[in-house]
Amino acid sequence: MLETGSTGFMLLAASLVMLMTPALALFYGGLATKRNILGIMIQSFASLGWTTVLWFIFGYSLCFSGGAGGIMGNFEKAFMNGVSIDSMYAGNGKIPEIVFFVYQMMFAIITPALITGAFANRVTFKSYMIFLTVWQVFVYYPFVHMIWGGGLLQVWGVLDFAGGIVVHATAGFAALASVFYVGARVDKNSTPNSIPLVAIGSGLLWFGWYGFNAGSQLCVDKVTALAFFNTDIAASFATVAWVVIEWSREKKPKFVGLLTGSIAGLATITPCAGYIPMWAAPIIGTAAGIVCYLAVMLKNRMKWDDALDVWGVHGVGGVLGSILLGVFASKAINPAGADGWIFGNSSFFMKQFIAVVIASAYAFIFTYLMLAIINMITPVRVSEEAERLGLDASLHDEKAYDEGAL
């Protein structure tokens, strides 16, 4: 039976998740160098348009129709076949299916956009559009179906409340593969062009994450409130942990570090938000701040040119959160979940560990091979001349700022 309150909330949650993609563009755009602001921002906005088209044509169907216990769905609901204004979402019978369609579409939009921070300043727009299409079909859609659409991993008992495996682990390790394939920037200067822009983007991401996590309950109840609470607490503890470590190492508190720490906490709590007790959120947030900071330090030491730390924040955060879910999950908190290791269920912990390792490895390997194939069709990397000029001018013939204006 239709619940108007839950339906209204889910429309709001979908709007919040939609806002996260422009917020990501602002976050990445502020971190980019001055000659590459538009080049990276357009990649997020392009996903808003093109992913919606793909989702309408066949994406939703491949994720959420047929294929019970399998890897991929079918085309039963392609072009919204069989879905009407009166269709209810079968998962809970409380919201219209078109609301569920739109909410999940917003996840599909932002997931590949996350990857773009890894290959900032280096990738042609044509190759990115091919990448955006193929990666969704062969990485994102299968894991959505397997974990949220009644597929193989869901049947096995794997949990992911809002996308630690489906979104962050897959995108983060795809980003690392992209770094390895595309190679380092010619000019490795990564000084942010606008830290205030990064702050605006970060604040909007944090705001949107309430829809991302709390909305994943797909109705309004006590678990919705729990997910909202855990999201904010974990993000805050991660922020503090990151600042403390960075301040102690570099002797000065860094604003970009503070903002990055908040995103690490948000990514890490995502798979756990509606399945864990409130007391576990500070532990997970603190772990996120420490582990993701160390991952970024490792990346720097190894000289992996992940320009905007997608792997260290989203990839490592998604993996960490998915594994910690296997530790702290409690059926007393959410009967639809599971008991974790500390509640006597070590087998669930192992399932989470295996699932996130498989997802990360698959995303990494497939992305690397896919980029190699795309490069046979059209160059993936821009020329050195274009890179030195900047993608804004060389690819888009535009400038972010009119420097001659008053």
Domains by residue range for the chain, with CATH: 4-380 (1.10.3430.10)
pLDDT (0 to 100) of residue 1: 85
288 in Cβ contact with 267 (< 8 Å)? yes
pLDDT (0 to 100) of residue 406: 45
pLDDT (0 to 100) of residue 188: 73
Query: Model's pTM, two decimal places?
Result: 0.96
pLDDT (0 to 100) of residue 405: 52
71 in Cβ contact with 145 (< 8 Å)? yes
pLDDT (0 to 100) of residue 177: 98
Q: What is the mean pLDDT of each run of 10 residues along the chain (406 residues)?
A: 96 98 97 94 98 98 94 97 96 97 98 94 96 98 98 98 98 98 85 95 98 98 98 98 97 97 98 98 98 97 94 98 98 98 97 98 98 98 95 95 67
Residues present in the chain in total:
406
DSSP state of 122: T
